[in-house]
């Protein structure tokens, strides 16, 4: 990660506008998946608050590789500014240190790995969470935030499929409109082919959500859930196989963007720092036992549209190629994944970056 003044200006903006952020001051927060795209942005916000606002937030990072963690936050966190504890999400481990808040973000979110490592994907979403929930049960009064996924909604069934079909037609024509009645609300659940190995991700995320509810009923563990849409922005790793990650890497290096489909599927997109601010908003203000979609209503577009937006900002072209069999197996199983953000916005959150400004900030960072 290359930190720069422009990036910290953006971090400062979302930190300043996150509702109730001072609630976290002088508290202890334990994160899993801290080097991932979303949770690393959360760490960036917390570190900024500690440096500039003397927030006194104790940060515990739980992970497998201490060196990787230190490298990710080089230039931001020094020894003594956070505590590192060993943690493997694919195994039931020892209790994590006591904390006021646990943010569970450790998860395999790479589509290519989901198709080649479905077992590890499922274990990471269930066993790793059990360790977090057991730790929270020991830390009386703590709260758990599970970072889930919009993929849990699956595909609409029966008459619902018609409305989403209309949405896809509208956006693929370039209108790019936010059509609220055709987005998934937190109470909408569709069909997932459970015998398709690619279902390892949405089905284990569904199970993880139910596990949280079960721990609440049986052990009184306070929890909230964030169902994330497709995040983009700083924090992309070279190995990330997600479409927007590949688009960004190509565009930033002056190469044409290669699409392996017509790109008509509708997706909710959200800039990384907006997503991180949404996570903290849900952590602070979310109602116990409830889930909240993270989605920017100004960034619900087709895959092709975001590719074209990135290409235009970078001065490159979008070209099309046929996908290989391995690539097809890794594809998101949802026909459309536009999420309704109304419930999150009711907590006081609002996105600071629309698609255009988010793409521009992303490319500026990588260049």
Q: Residue 106 has what pLDDT?
A: 95
DSSP H or E run through 231? strand 230-232
- 125 falls in which pLDDT band (50, 70, 90)? very high
pTM for this entry: 0.90
130 vs 212: CA distance, rounded Å: 9
Across 324-344, average pLDDT: 73
SS3 251: helix
pLDDT tens string 17-42: 999 999 999 999 999 999 999 999 99
355 vs 176: CA distance, rounded Å: 11
Across 77-97, average pLDDT: 92
Across 211-237, average pLDDT: 94
Neighbours of 153 (CB within 10 A): 25
51 vs 184: CA distance, rounded Å: 39
Q: Residue 333 has what pLDDT?
A: 53
Domain boundaries, the chain: 5-159+178-235+269-298+337-354
Q: Residue 163 has what pLDDT?
A: 41
Q: Residue 325 has what pLDDT?
A: 64
Structure tokens at 362: 């992303």
Tell me: pLDDT of 5 over 60: yes
52-66, 93-107, 169-183: segment of lowest average pLDDT: 169-183
Question: Which residues are CB-contacts of 256 (< 8 A; sequence separation ≥ 6)?
Answer: 250, 311, 316, 317, 318, 319
The radius of gyration of the chain's CA atoms, rounded to the nearest angstrom, is: 19
Across 259-287, average pLDDT: 93
44 vs 12: CA distance, rounded Å: 10
Q: Residue 171 has what pLDDT?
A: 38
- CATH ID of 5-159+178-235+269-298+337-354, from 3.40.50.720, 2.60.120.10, 3.40.50.2300, 3.40.605.10: 3.40.50.720
In the DSSP assignment, the letter for residue 234 is T
Tell me: pLDDT of 225 over 80: yes
338 vs 119: CA distance, rounded Å: 27
Evaluate whether 300 touches 38 at the Cβ level (below 8 Å).
no
41-55, 228-242, 320-334, 348-362: segment of lowest average pLDDT: 320-334
Percent of residues in the chain assigned helix, strand, coil, to nearest 5: 45, 15, 35
Question: Which residues are CB-contacts of 88 (< 8 A; sequence separation ≥ 6)?
Answer: 64, 128
Q: Residue 367 has what pLDDT?
A: 67
- 138 falls in which pLDDT band (50, 70, 90)? very high
SS3 294: strand
pLDDT tens string 162-218: 344 334 334 334 434 444 457 899 999 999 999 999 999 999 999 999 999 999 999
Q: Residue 179 has what pLDDT?
A: 46
pLDDT tens string 235-256: 787 778 888 888 999 998 899 9
In the DSSP assignment, the letter for residue 323 is P
318 vs 330: CA distance, rounded Å: 21
Question: Which residues are CB-contacts of 303 (< 8 A; sequence separation ≥ 6)?
Answer: 243, 259, 261, 263, 264, 265, 267
* Mean of the per-residue pLDDT values of the chain: 88
């Amino acid at each position: 990660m290359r930190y720069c003044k422009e990036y910290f200006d953006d971090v400062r903006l979302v930190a300043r506008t996150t509702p109730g952020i001072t609630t976290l001051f002088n508290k202890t927060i334990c994160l899993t998946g801290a080097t991932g795209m979303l949770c690393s942005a959360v760490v960036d916000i917390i570190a900024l608050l500690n440096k500039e606002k003397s927030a006194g937030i104790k940060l515990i990072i739980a992970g497998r590789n201490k060196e990787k963690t230190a490298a990710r936050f080089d230039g931001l966190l020094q020894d003594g500014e956070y505590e590192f504890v060993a943690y493997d999400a694919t195994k039931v481990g020892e209790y994590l240190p006591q904390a006021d808040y646990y943010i569970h973000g450790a998860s395999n979110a790479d589509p290519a790995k989901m198709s080649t490592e479905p077992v590890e994907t499922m274990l990471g979403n269930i066993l790793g969470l059990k360790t977090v929930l057991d730790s929270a049960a020991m830390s009386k009064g703590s709260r758990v935030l599970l970072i889930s996924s919009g993929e849990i909604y699956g595909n609409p069934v029966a008459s619902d499929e018609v409305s989403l079909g209309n949405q896809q037609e509208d956006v693929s024509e370039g209108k790019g409109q936010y059509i609220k009645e055709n987005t998934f609300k937190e109470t909408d659940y569709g069909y997932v082919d459970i015998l398709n190995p690619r279902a390892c991700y949405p089905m284990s995320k569904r199970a993880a959500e139910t596990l949280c509810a079960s721990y609440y009923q049986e052990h009184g563990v306070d929890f909230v859930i964030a169902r994330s849409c497709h995040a983009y922005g700083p924090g992309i790793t070279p190995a990330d196989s997600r479409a927007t990650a590949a688009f960004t890497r190509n565009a930033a290096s002056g190469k044409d963007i290669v699409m392996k489909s017509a790109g008509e599927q509708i997706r909710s997109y959200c800039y990384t720092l907006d997503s991180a601010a949404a996570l903290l908003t849900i952590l602070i203000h979310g109602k116990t036992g409830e889930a909240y979609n993270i989605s920017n209503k100004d960034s619900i577009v087709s895959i092709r549209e975001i590719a074209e937006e990135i290409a235009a900002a970078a001065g490159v072209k979008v070209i099309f190629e046929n996908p290989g069999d391995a690539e097809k197996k890794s594809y998101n199983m949802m026909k459309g994944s536009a999420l309704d953000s109304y419930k999150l916005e009711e907590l006081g959150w609002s996105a600071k970056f629309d698609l255009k400004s988010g793409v521009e900030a992303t490319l500026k960072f990588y260049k």
